[in-house]
Structure 1
C-alpha cells in the first residue's frame, strides 16, 4: 500500500458499526487514512474497508480486544506500518449494560469495566506514546453522566472514569502538541440503542431534546471530525453533542 507522507492517519476503535462506522466514513471523507478496528465482526470491518478503498480512500482493518494491551499494540503497529504513523485515535469501543443498582449482576459490571475502563486506559497508553505532534486523542463518554436516568448508573459510572482520564491525560501531554478530549453523545439512533425499545420509548427519548429528535451517528461523527481536524484550541474537555438535553 502506497501512502503519501502528507496523509494523516487515524485509528478508530469499534469502527465497524454504529457511531464508530460513521466516524470512520467521515474521517475517510476528510482525507484520513483509517485503521478500522473491530473485535468480532470481521465481515463488517472488511466491507467498510472495501467501501473506502473503492472510493479512492485508504483503510485497513485491525482486530483485537481493546482491553488486551498486546493486541492493541499490534493494532497500532499495523496502522503505523500501513500509513507511516498515527495522528488521530478515536476510541468509540464500549459496551452498555443497563440495570438498577439493586439488581445489578456484578459480573456484568466487571465485564463493562473491562471494556469501558481498562480498554480506555490501554488505548490511552498506546495513543499517548504514538500519536504524532499536531494530533488528537478522542475518547467516548455519554450524556448519561449528566442526565442520571435510572438503570444507567453502571454504564454512566464507567464513562465518568473515561471523562476523568481524558482531562488528566490532556494535562500529562503538556508540550506534545496533542489534544485530548471526550465526546459524550445523548440518545443516538444506532441499532444498539434502538434494539428492544418500543416506539413509545423512542418517541419519549427523542422528545427530551429541544430539537425534538434523536441524534444520528453522523451528528456525532461531525463533532469528532472537528476535534480531529481544525479544533486545535479545544483540549481537556468533554463535549456533549445531545441536542440540548443537558
Structure 2
C-alpha cells in the first residue's frame, strides 16, 4: 500500500498505542498526512510523532477525551486546522470495564458508554460533517459482539451501538460517495489482552496464535484505500477465524 494514500488527510481517534498506533503507522506509511488523539499518554504520542517525522511522514497529535463531546468537536477543528479538509477518519478509542452485569454500577455504565457509544456517535457526526466527498470513515468495534463473554456486557453493549451507528451512517453518506465501515478485531497482542487469556485465545484462531496490531491496521488501511470504494456498511472481521 505504499503511497496509496498520497494527498489524503486522516484523523485517527485513539492512536497512541496498540491497534490505534498501528493504524496511524499504516496510514502514514501509505502516504497520508495523519493527526491522531490520545487521552493521557503524552510521551507515547510524542514518540510516535517523532518516529513518523524522522521517516519523512506528516504526523501530529492532540490530547482529547472521547467521553467529552466538546473535546471531540475541538479535536476535529484542530485536525482540520493542522492538515486541511479530512479524507479519512478512524474512530478507534474506547474503554472497557470487565464486571458481571449484576455488579455494574451506574458510574461504570456512564464511563463506558460516554466514551464508546456517546463519544463515538459524536465523532461519527463530526466526521460526516467534515470528511470530503469520496472519503472514508472506519469505526473499530470488537469481535466480542459475536461471542458474548461473561463480564463484558457494558463493553459489548457500547460497541454494538457503534456497529449500528456506522451501518445507518453508511446509507446517509452514500450519496456523497463516502464509505462507512466497521473493523472488528479478534484477540490481538495489546496490553488489553491479559497474559492469562493468551493461550486460550490463540487456540481459538485458525492460525493458532493471537493477531498483531499491524494485521488489524492493514484491514483498516484497506478500507481507507481506493480498493474499498465499493465496500460500505460492512463489519469486517479481523480475528484470524475466531468468529
> In which range does the TM-score fall when normalised by the shorter chain?
over 0.9
Would you say 1:208 and 2:204 are equivalent positions? yes
CA distance in 2, matches of 1:99, 1:7: 44
Contact 1:66 1:72 in 2 (8 A): yes
Match of 1:133 in 2: 133
Deviation at 1:103, TM superposition (A): 2.1
Match of 1:60 in 2: 60
Match of 1:234 in 2: 231
Q: Structure 1 unaligned segments of length 5 or more: list them.
A: 1-5
TM-score, reference length from structure 2: 0.94
Deviation at 1:158, TM superposition (A): 0.8
CA distance in 1, matches of 2:109, 2:231: 32
Q: Structure 2 unaligned segments of length 5 or more: list them.
A: 1-5
SS in 2 for 1:174: helix
Structure 2 counterparts to residues 89-128 of structure 1, below 5 A = 89-128=89-128
Deviation at 1:97, TM superposition (A): 1.0
SS in 1 for 2:24: helix
Structure 2 counterparts to residues 72-91 of structure 1, below 5 A = 72-91=72-91
Contact 1:66 1:122 in 2 (8 A): no
Would you say 1:51 and 2:48 are equivalent positions? no
Contact 1:11 1:86 in 2 (8 A): yes
The RMSD of aligned alpha carbons is 1.2
Contact 1:36 1:49 in 2 (8 A): no
CA distance in 2, matches of 1:225, 1:161: 23
**Aligned residue-pair number:** 237
User: In the TM superposition, what whole-angstrom CA distance separates every residue of 1:196-232 from its partner, at most 9, and x where no partner exists?
Assistant: x32xx31011101111110110111000000001211
Deviation at 1:96, TM superposition (A): 1.1
CA distance in 2, matches of 1:37, 1:191: 18
Match of 1:177 in 2: 177
TM-score, reference length from structure 1: 0.93
Would you say 1:25 and 2:25 are equivalent positions? yes
User: In the TM superposition, what whole-angstrom CA distance separates every residue of 1:29-83 from its partner, at most 9, and x where no partner exists?
Assistant: 0001000211111111111111111110101111111232322222212222222
